Amino acid sequence: MAARLPRPPRFDLWAALAGLAGGLLLWGSGLGLRGPGDPQVLFDGGGPLLVPLVVVSGCELLRRTAPRTALLTGTLALAADLTTQGSIATIVMYTDLMYAAVLYGPPTTARRLPWVTGMLSIAATLIPFAVLRVPEALLIGVVMGAVTFAPASTGLIVRNHREAADAALLRAEQTALLAEMDRAQAVTAERARMARELHDMVANHLSAIAIHSTAALSLDDRATTRQALGVIRENSVAGLAEMRRLIGILRDDGGDTEPAAAPTLEGLGTLVEGARANGLDVTLDASPGENLPAPVELAAYRIVQESLTNALKHGSTGAVRVRLDRHDDALRIRVTSPYGDRDTPRAPGSGAGLVGMRERAALLHGTFEAGVVADPASPGDRIWAVRATLPLTEGDLA
């Protein structure tokens, strides 16, 4: 099946009809570019000029869908028009074909046509003047330039402006897309940070509440129940304070109340005491040094906090050891706890704690490992070990 040409735009259809109607009006009035007695007229009479007129008006229908074909056919029709009395409508429509070929044609056509028509206009100016030696011969080049070079140059200028506008629009769309991607990434990062902070602040207290409330309900002992309720109240108050601090940071309503400072390694002693109150046998050995970057202190505190929470929920009876050392511009953290092969934890969990610790280390370009290892102090036994290395240099924190 033969390919069908695309339907011409409505503007091109009206342009073709207007050109044809104008040419027929001139033909009916007997007006032509040359008189009947002109020696250049090979086909005398008004009828022969209708053929180029109809052909060129038909080419107007292809000015956008097939611009090069329209220009080539129109050039042949214009050459045929030169052998008749000529029609100004044919020439005007031909200039539009030249303009459209540069504006809508391929890039190679747009680059070459102005150059070719410019050279032809120069040649049409110099050669006739050199042969005839009369000033009137210069008019040939002027007419050639007006019919070919001027519309081609105009089409190139318009095309360049359109391409520049399209490029500017594309850059604007790309900029908007990049801005939207940056905004989405910022929102995702902020949500992840909020999730880590919320989990690390509240999980420890809620785990202790869950464990001690279970003990209070399962043991029929007044002293044990009273002690469990005391621990529950203490963790409830501490958790509520942490939640208020987070809400104050998120609201940031510009009030006079400043949010509480982020926890630092100076608070590890209080953190360990709280873990001991919850029933853990914790040993703290910390020598982090001085002048630690604030992000490192916060990450280290949260990693130790979450490790103690996991020991409370999953670990068996035994010693929990927390060790912090500063070596080679890096802070090394190691927390070990007994591994008891529990079927179910003493308090429910979702595994988000390990994810949060790993994310905190990754944000500082550090390393994080957690898993079951052999206990070096007791061959044959296994322990749960959390190891993290947090760089301290400015380049690693960037």
Q: Which residues of 99-130 are buried (b: 16+ CB within 10 A; e: fewer)?
A: bbbbbbbeeebbeebbeebbeebeebbeebbe
Closest residue by Cα to residue 19 from 49, 74, 78, 60: 60
Stated as kind and residue range, the H or E segment containing 36 is: none
Give the strand order in the sheet containing 319-327: 281-287, 319-327, 330-338, 382-391, 367-374
Closest residue by Cα to residue 320 from 234, 257, 383, 392: 383
DSSP 267: G
pLDDT single digits (tens) 117-173: 999 999 989 998 888 888 888 888 899 999 999 999 999 999 999 999 999 998 998
Three-state DSSP class for 116?
helix
Residues whose CB falls within 8 Å of the CB of residue 270, separated by 6 or more in sequence, listed in order: none
Q: 381 or 144, which is more confident?
A: 144
Three-state DSSP class for 358?
helix
**pLDDT on residue 160:** 94
Residue 391 β-bridge partners: 330
Please report, rounded to a whole number, the percentage of residues in the chain having pLDDT higher than 90: 29
Residues whose CB falls within 8 Å of the CB of residue 45, separated by 6 or more in sequence, listed in order: 36, 85
Residue 100 pLDDT level (bands cut at 50, 70, 90) = very high
> Average pLDDT of 52-68?
93
> Average pLDDT of 274-300?
84
**pLDDT on residue 257:** 47
pLDDT single digits (tens) 180-190: 888 888 888 77
What distance lies between CA 164 and its chain's CA centroid? 22
pLDDT for 215 beyond 80: no
Q: Is 341 left (phi over 0), alpha (psi -120 to 50) or beta?
A: left
CATH 3.30.420.240 fits 261-398, yes or no: no
List, in sequence order, every beta strand (DSSP E) within the chain: 281-287, 319-327, 330-338, 367-374, 382-391
In angstroms, the Cα distances linking 29 to 16, 124, 274 are 20, 31, 109
Q: 222 or 318, which is more confident?
A: 318
**pLDDT on residue 342:** 56
Residue 395 pLDDT level (bands cut at 50, 70, 90) = very low
Residues of the chain within CATH 3.30.565.10 domain(s) are 261-398
**pLDDT on residue 216:** 67
φ/ψ of 64, rounded to 5, equals -110, -35
> Average pLDDT of 189-212?
70
Closest residue by Cα to residue 94 from 115, 83, 80: 80
Contact 205, 235 (CB under 8 A): yes
Residue 398 pLDDT level (bands cut at 50, 70, 90) = very low
The number of residues making up the chain comes to 398
> Average pLDDT of 352-377?
85
Residues whose CB falls within 8 Å of the CB of residue 159, separated by 6 or more in sequence, listed in order: 102, 103, 110
Residue 105 pLDDT level (bands cut at 50, 70, 90) = very high
